[in-house]
Amino acid sequence: MSMQTGVVTSPKQLRSYAPETDVSVASPAPRVETAPSRPVAAQRNLRTEPGPVRFIIITLAVAFLSVFVVLPLVVVFASAFSKGVGAYLAALAEPEALSAIRLTLLVAAISVTLNLVFGVIAAWAISKFDFAGKTLLVTLIDLPFSVSPVISGLVFVLLFGAQGYFGPWLQSHNVQILFAVPGIALATVFVTFPFVARALIPLMQEQGTQEEEAAISLGASGLQTFFRVTLPNIKWGLLYGVLLCNARAMGEFGAVSVVSGHIRGETNTMPLLVEILYNEYQFVSSFAIASLLAMLALITLVVKTILERRLDEGEAVDGD
């Protein structure tokens, strides 16, 4: 770790790095004979940072995490329950809250499903085939990550709004996209597109095409190969992508805010409702909804950790 920082300020520090290699290399070099005569404490200092330095680094990290991550989380739950459990449950039972929860679940379900399909297809194409423009496609997949979500929402307003490219046509055919579920779903799909594809591309590239070739030479059709060989091999990566995609879909604010129109009880998702209630000084209701999103985040974290372990195991398994 200390080597990575690459900052060696004093000759004393320089010296403390150098013998590290000598100590760790277990060779019967003459140097080993002199090693036991050194005081043990001095040896320990060579292997790691001095005690005070370690203490300061650890304290800084813990303090930072407490202030910026743990504290806000505690505040969310504390505010949500500030008027008691009854008030908390009542806030969640409000029709507006229920409608927001339903809409959020619906939008998440739509965008996760679509991105699951698109993501697998895109990752499949990129990792198993060679074609012109592949690099461009890989770059484009990341576009939603690099563009501000507000811009992502605006794009759909420009496309489907009353003054947009498809606006007049849509109006004459009585199709409502903006300020309705389709618009919210579209914006969410756009913003969350990279998650599944990003999770799968490196995994599928690393696995290569040999198992697929083996399946085909054994007489399997393309579909059989996909469902019996490819899909089982990527299932943990796929779940990982879906999990992150879902978390973002439920939590998305910027893009959805632009296309939603904020129609109460109709086009407000949970994050939007949190803001509205907060602006109306309904702190308990606002934080109650927020606490649901916070819980989603915590659950996501736990599942993500489990999946990451599974993925690591999978990798350890193929390396021979």
Partner 1 sequence: MAIEVRNIVKKFGSFAALDNVDLKVADGELLALLGPSGSGKTTLLRIIAGLDWPDSGEVAIDGENALSRGASERQVGFVFQHYALFRHMTVFENVAFGLRVQPRAIRKDEATIRARVKGLLDLVQLDWLANRYPSQLSGGQRQRIALARALAIEPRILLLDEPFGALDAKVRKELRQWLRSLHNEIHVTSIFVTHDQEEALEVANRVVVMDKGRIEQIGTPGEVYDNPATAFVHGFIGESIVLPVDVSGDGVRLDGRPLDIAAQGAAPGAARLFVRRHDMAIAPAGAGPFEGAIRHVRSFGPIQRAEVALSGNEGRTVIEIDAPRDRELQAGEIISLQPRRYRIFAAQD
Token match 């449950």: residue?
89
Widest distance between CA atoms in the chain: 91
> Distance between CA atoms of 317 and 320, rounded to whole angstroms?
7
Q: How far apart are CA 228 and CA 24, in angstroms?
A: 47
Q: Who's near 166: CB < 8 A, 6+ residues apart?
A: 159, 160
Is residue 129 involved in binding partner 1 (CB under 8 A)?
Answer: no
307 binds partner 1 (CB under 8 A): no
Binding region for partner 1 (CB under 8 A) out of 15-23, 77-85, 226-234, 245-253: 226-234
If binding is defined by CB under 8 A, does position 206 make contact with partner 1? no
CB 119 within 8 A of CB 196: yes
- Which of 29-37, 118-126, 128-136, 216-224 is the region at the interface with partner 1 (rule: CB under 8 A)? 216-224
Does position 221 interact with partner 1 (CB under 8 A)? The reply is yes
Contact predicate 234/204, CB 8 Å? yes
- State how far the alpha carbon of 286 is from the alpha carbons of 71, 96, 102, 289, in Å: 18, 11, 16, 6
> Is 71 or 218 the residue whose CB approaches partner 1 more closely?
218
Quick check: 220 binds partner 1 (CB under 8 A)? Answer: yes
What is the radius of gyration, based on Cα positions, of the chain? 27
Rounded Cα–Cα distance for residues 224 and 101 (Å): 39
Please tell me the distance from the alpha carbon of residue 166 to that of residue 160, in angstroms, as a whole number: 5
Residue 43 CB, shortest distance to partner 1, in Å, is 39
Of 109, 103, 88, the residue nearest 295 (C-alpha): 88
- Residues that bind partner 1 (rule: CB under 8 A) add up to a total of 20
One residue of 45, 171, 205, 224 binding partner 1 per CB under 8 A: 224
Cβ contact 201:126 at 8 Å = yes
* Residue (274 or 307) nearer to partner 1, CB: 307
Among 2, 79, 99, 233, binds partner 1 (CB under 8 A): 233
Residues 135-154 that bind partner 1 (CB under 8 A): none
Question: Can you give the length of the chain in residues?
Answer: 320
128 scored as a contact of partner 1 (CB under 8 A): no
Residue located via tokens 């990290």: 61
Stretch that binds partner 1, among 35-43, 130-138, 191-199, 218-226 (CB under 8 A): 218-226
Near partner 1 by CB under 8 A: residue from 34, 172, 217, 279: 217
213 counts as binding partner 1 under rule CB under 8 A: yes
- Minimum CB–partner distance for residue 9 and partner 1 (Å): 47
Does 229 bind partner 1 (CB under 8 A)? Our answer is yes
Nearer to partner 1, 175 or 214 (CB): 214
CB 26 → partner 1: shortest distance, Å? 25
Judged by the rule CB under 8 A, the positions of this chain that interact with partner 1 are 210-211, 213-221, 224, 228-229, 232-233, 314, 317-318, 320
